[in-house]
Amino acid sequence: MNEDKLLGLLGLAHRAGFVASGAMQTEKALLSGRCKLLLIAADTATETQKRLNIMVEETGTPMIKILSKLQLGNAVGKSPKAALAINDIGFASSLRRMVSSDGV
């Protein structure tokens, strides 16, 4: 697995309507239980990471810290994003397998 495949899969998930991006949408997806996997950019501010970590612990949602804000945003055709909520179990499972197979 390589970064390009991961970014491509994120783009596909976004086009399919299974990605929430931006602070408000990501938190809403987490708290509503729709989020199946939370991706947090490695360069996200410490306070933002703390807030998201609390929500992840409360909801039991899996989380992966990966890539940069710029890369996450570009993958979904937007400005830099600190976090993306993947709202489909199939895409979430595929992304987790990709990351665990190679540790992007």
pLDDT digits (tens, 9 = 90+) for 2-31: 889 999 999 999 999 999 998 789 999 999
Does residue 39 contact residue 83 with C-beta atoms inside 8 Å? Answer: yes
**Full residue range of the structural domain in which residue 30 is found:** 3-102
Average pLDDT estimate for 63-86: 95
pLDDT recorded at residue 1: 45
Does residue 21 contact residue 81 with C-beta atoms inside 8 Å? Answer: yes
Which residue, among 75, 104, 78, has the nearest Cα to 13 in the 3D structure?
75
The CATH number of residue 55's host domain is 3.30.1330.30
Q: In what order do the strands lie in the sheet with 37-40?
A: 19-21, 83-86, 37-40, 63-65
In the DSSP assignment, the letter for residue 56 is H
**Total structural domains in the chain?**
1
Q: Is the pTM of this model over 0.85?
A: yes
Q: How many helices (H) and strands (E) does the chain have?
A: 5, 4
